[in-house]
Amino acid sequence: MSVTTALGFRAAGVTAGLKKSGNPDMALVVNDGPDFHAAAVFTSNRVAAAPIHWSRQVLSDGRVDAVVLNSGGANACTGPEGFQNTHATAEKVAEVLGLSATDIAVCSTGLIGEQLPMDKILPGVEAAAAALTADGGAAAATAIMTTDTVSKEALWTSPNDAEGLSYSIGGMAKGAGMLAPGLATMLVVITTDAGIDPDALDAALHDAVRVTFNRADSDGCMSTNDTVLLLASGASNAVPNMDEFTKGLTQVCATLARALIGDAEGASHDIAITTKNADSERDAEIVSREVARSNLFKAAIFGNDPNWGRVLSAVGTTDAVFDPDKINVSINGVQICRNGCIGDSRDLVDLTPREVTVEIDLNAGLAEATIWTNDLTHAYVEENSAYSS
Amino acid sequence: MSVTTALGFRAAGVTAGLKKSGNPDMALVVNDGPDFHAAAVFTSNRVAAAPIHWSRQVLSDGRVDAVVLNSGGANACTGPEGFQNTHATAEKVAEVLGLSATDIAVCSTGLIGEQLPMDKILPGVEAAAAALTADGGAAAATAIMTTDTVSKEALWTSPNDAEGLSYSIGGMAKGAGMLAPGLATMLVVITTDAGIDPDALDAALHDAVRVTFNRADSDGCMSTNDTVLLLASGASNAVPNMDEFTKGLTQVCATLARALIGDAEGASHDIAITTKNADSERDAEIVSREVARSNLFKAAIFGNDPNWGRVLSAVGTTDAVFDPDKINVSINGVQICRNGCIGDSRDLVDLTPREVTVEIDLNAGLAEATIWTNDLTHAYVEENSAYSS
């Protein structure tokens, strides 16, 4: 269940020496074809890292032959030298694999504002290329981890078509903080052996990301390096129905997005905030997101306190269509707020399980959206203060 | 230095029994005239508490004779019964003081989603009325505290005018969490003995609030109960120059706003984030506010870590006019980011003092704005989880 499940892909994860811990920190994923189609979604942060600028150019013709990823340094806010380092990394991959640098995507993650140690990156590329195997997906998934406590992989396989052909969609992801809208501090590589042209890949990827990664909001902070790459080799000979493909891709993205939230820095609760009966999907999404970003609400959930006033006060700051006197809120199935007023007893709410569901009924329409987030904990503060850096 | 410094005002603070702690929890401020002019700014939260709905009506004719304030319960999300309770409180004040209920403003603060114990509120009003004195300002400031650790007061006195007359502006505030834009979980009452009509009062108050309370952003959460009330008695016989009055009022508001930030829940650093050389004041404000709302940045400051990448990544999520390669960032005077890239060494930044200044130079214009915020600490999480409720 990884980026090497789909036919036509090899991968590797090695230790280049970028991390003080000595853990693996460089991954390589190679598409051996016959197709080299690709689509991507990048961070919308206007302070974008050097690898984002580079990879946007690489993706412009819809072709990617390989992706090189490093943890241990974001290569963001590093100026012309940082961009030259990304370029040199791609050139090195091209050289050792006999490819063109303009078909090599680059991803980086780690601290912003430090130059990458190229004396370690370039030998790391050679080591990764030498380690490429058709079952290297798990090693690659491990090498891209930063503060992640577990590696994240997902797989979906299509049913056989009329000709007995099927295809797979497999992915890996990293990210544990700075998880917010328009992606997160996350790198995601998804591969498929279906035969799909770049335009259709792009449409499917945007559809899937919109309702998965873009609805995971751990801490409201958007990274400079977010990348979701989708590579298609066509090696299965299956040409998919695009509705089916998009559904499978969305499932893979949702699994990875949930895994990111489930491993978010210091979290003790995973919270699904669903706004239903909204006037529009946009309204449902902004209401859920506003609650997901309330530190007061998130701290209350950490303390197992069903403080629904903090839900209502967050909802009230949005411009969504609603009547304050017609809002219902349930936490873990108990309707503690009814018609904008006191509902069932807070004491009935059991917040000891890790999974928490918050349901906000706006009574204003038919649309619905869910945002996944976490609680705000001592451990989040600890991990993100200097004690951990 | 309080709401009773200006001539024409009496105040009191008493214990009605709303707080389990037994601390004072009910305040009353009375204007004895000769003018009864008033202006107010209320929360823009669409889930507004019952006293907000009531007081908006009271203020509609620009006249307020008295303000009654309770801590120990927000009377928000309490439905028709909550509104009736606010009304009954105003009626009680009117009865004991011989006034009209429609000239009595009401403010409440505390937990959302619980009905007020009227069997304690109404006797509390009687006790407060009996305790009214011309030096009761400090007692009133104490009675409106919730998680505040100190009461907050401020005073400004005008120079003598050509006729030897001067006037005072004195205020009190409460608020320690849920401090965000469009006010905070805060109640503020400001009094003056200047002679000013309600329209001019309103204009001055909005000018002052815009650059003070609305730029204090402790945790991005906006309350259902925020109120800033300004009462003018005219008792000094001074008729002020409005530029001078607005300047004095802004100073009082700024002092109170800084006091709120200085006492914010669990904070260990007070952070002033100034964005300068912006294309517009709006751009400067949103850039500073976005940084002020980054949990990652706030946690880094808690850990004395000058992690400027978290400043840049927050700036990058805004739509302000800037070129990422022309941004400079200084923390406590050290320019650690120059032209969007690595500047002076992080090691030069001393973050041990409580006061922290962050200066973001967008190099895009001439406008400037400062947002005041705090760091994100273990104590904030602790105070806002169930452990404290």
Domain boundaries in chain A?
9-262, 270-388
Among A61-70, A130-139, B72-81, the range scoring the smallest mean pLDDT is B72-81
- The mean pLDDT of A138-152, rounded to a whole number, is 91
Instruction: Please list every residue in chain B whose beta carbon sits closer than 8 Å to the beta carbon of residue A42.
Output: none
CB B14 within 8 A of CB B26: yes
Please tell me which residue of chain A has the smallest CA distance to B309.
A112
Tokens 């439905």 locate to B79
Residue A177: what pLDDT?
54
CB A187 within 8 A of CB A146: no
Tell if the CB–CB gap between A384 and B303 is shorter than 8 Å: yes
Instruction: Please list every residue in chain A whose beta carbon sits closer than 8 Å to the beta carbon of residue B380.
Output: 295, 299, 381
Tell if the CB–CB gap between B295 and A219 is shorter than 8 Å: yes
Min Cα distance B227 → chain A (Å) is: 15
The answer to whether B174 is a known ligand-binding residue is yes
Q: Is A313 exposed, middle or buried (0-12, 13-18, 19+ CB in 10 A)?
A: buried
Q: How do residues B302-331 score in pLDDT, each as one tens digit? A: 989 898 988 998 898 899 999 999 999 999
Residue A183: what pLDDT?
34
Tokens 């815009």 locate to B210
Q: How do residues A343-377 score in pLDDT, each as one tens digit? A: 999 999 999 999 999 999 999 999 999 988 888 88
Give helix B79-97 / helix B118-130 axis angle, nearest 10°. 20
Tell if the CB–CB gap between A77 and B341 is shorter than 8 Å: yes
Q: How do residues A265-309 score in pLDDT, each as one tens digit? A: 778 999 999 999 999 999 999 999 999 988 889 888 998 989 898
Average pLDDT, chain A: 91
A9-262 CATH, one of 2.30.30.110, 2.70.98.10, 3.30.1360.180, 3.60.70.12: 3.60.70.12
The answer to whether B265 is a known ligand-binding residue is yes
Q: Does B292 touch chain A (CB under 8 A)?
A: no
Residue B183: what pLDDT?
34
Instruction: Please list every residue in chain A whose beta carbon sits closer than 8 Å to the beta carbon of residue B309.
Output: 74, 76-77, 111-113, 224
Min Cα distance A343 → chain B (Å) is: 9
Beta strands B355-361; B328-331: pairing state: antiparallel
CB A217 within 8 A of CB A371: yes
- Chain centroid offset of residue A119 CA: 30
Among A339-348, B172-181, B257-266, B322-331, the range scoring the smallest mean pLDDT is B172-181
Average pLDDT, chain B: 91
Is the dihedral angle over the CA atoms B103, B109, B113, B118 positive or is it negative? negative
A270-388 CATH, one of 3.40.50.300, 3.10.20.340, 1.10.468.10, 3.90.1150.10: 3.10.20.340
Beta strands B270-278; B227-232: pairing state: unpaired
Percent of chain A with pLDDT over 90: 68
Residue B259: what pLDDT?
87
Tokens 């914010």 locate to B264
Confidence tier at A1 by pLDDT (50, 70, 90): low
Residue A216: what pLDDT?
80
CB B213 within 8 A of CB B188: yes
Backbone φ and ψ of A104, nearest 5°? -110, 115
Q: Does B307 touch chain A (CB under 8 A)?
A: yes
| ipTM score for this prediction | 0.78
Confidence tier at B232 by pLDDT (50, 70, 90): very high
